[in-house]
Structure 1
Amino acid sequence: MKRVSASRALSWIADGFGLMRSQFYRLLLIGLILQFLTGFAQAGPLGLLFILAVPALTAGVLQAMHMVSRDGVPPVMTLFVAFQSSRKLLRLFMLGFVMLIAGFLAAGGALSGALESMDPELLGALERGDLKTLQSADPQVIQRLAGSLLAGLAVSGLLAYFAIPLLWFSGLPLGRALVSGLAGIIFNLPAFLLLVVGMVLLAMPVGLLLSLLFANAAGSTIMTLLMLLVIVTYQLLFLGVQYFAFRDIFGIDGGAAEDRDPEGQLLA
């Protein structure tokens, strides 16, 4: 692990754009498949399984980006490459469980005190997944719910940001990956603060574009598809930035990470 200057954050964003340009359609296809699988997050037990599998699927996307950075063309099935390694897959699923618990605790902490004053009928509807009830909810309640969701996502994201590539590329045990990942962020905090600012600034025109598309998306398959493409493109940029940040701070072994799984078997 090394310290980098704050300005490196801008290089990560620029490199992320460059990586996407070199194999945009292949990466977009992988991202669309991942987005399709995200739909299972709404489906009960399958949703829980998907949440636990998020680190493994993210490792697959990072592996695809690693291949692109070495002038390769990643197969679509690279998304599932982590499932070929039982040892690392178990660690990635354990990370998914840690992220889930940490996210719940953070969201619960952000909501502490608000649940007691919340309408029991509204609370029951939310527990059943009936989001339509939010239309009649108090705006302050909606703000607290949104804040708790963001808190949960932020904590989970911080834990996973470097832990996923450390588990996949570096082969660290889960505990060391979590500690090293958080240390990498803390020791390079100026760069990550600038990175957050840069990604938020990029998210503003993306959000505006999505709002315009959403306003015209009623009954339009084309508009809905365009919204999906915009979302997936931004997600790919985010993961590309994550890849370059990891490579810059921790490095990636020149040994063929893209050619072998952790048990030494050749990947298709």
Structure 2
Amino acid sequence: MSVNNSVITTGEYIKHHLTHVDVGSGFWTFNLDTLVVSIVLGFVILTSFYLAAKRATSQVPSGFQNFVELIFDFVDGQVRDTYHGKSSLVTPLALTIFVWIFLMNFMDLIPIDFFYVIGKLLHIHFIQDMKIVPTTDPNLTLAMSFSVFLLIIIYNLAAKGIKGVAEEFFLKPFGPYLFIVNFFLKLIEELAKPISLGLRLYGNLYAGELIFILIALLPWFLQWLLGGPWAIFHVLVITIQAFVFMVLTIVYISLAEEAH
């Protein structure tokens, strides 16, 4: 097939779009495209919300202020319905997670070869070769989920103390005589939370990206015929995945503070 006047095989085309721009080796390999795109999007979120808060008025609000307030009210409503603790961190955390993941997911709706063409025109190999959807990188999704897991541990210790946490791990549900069984069951239960949280987001977005790549391999008239409906459906997917990650984060933190 031909991409931007360069003839490559189907396998090379798919490999190009599924390969990260990275540095380092082994465990210390860093996917630069994932880091750059996620940081830039994070900066966009922080700047946008800062400007919205700074320019907020009790008079007739602007359209952007209305939009930010709508998102905030939606997230705050989810927190109030799900979280029953007193921490003031949960709402900002949930808001950040939802908007940041949504924007990273949204990058999947940009045409597959858009940045390839831009990088080719500007003669910038990094732009030409980078993957622009950070949530198709399991390193990022698992890093986010284990960050949530760390918060779960902190909230657990803050609410129950070391003694309370130890009792949950060693004494429940089968009592002190089966403390080893209790420990391994609790350990599996807790580790399943971040792993499932990260892999769910990664799997859905990676599959969506792969479908877009396969559609791009079809003749141009079929690309629009199949790509259009899939893009419309994918808007729902990227929104739901951001929502699920946010809600489960709230649920897990809420459970960490509750006595069983």
TM-score, normalization by structure 1: 0.31
Higher normalized contact order (CA 8 Å, seq sep 6+, divided by chain length): 1
Larger Cα-atom Rg: 2
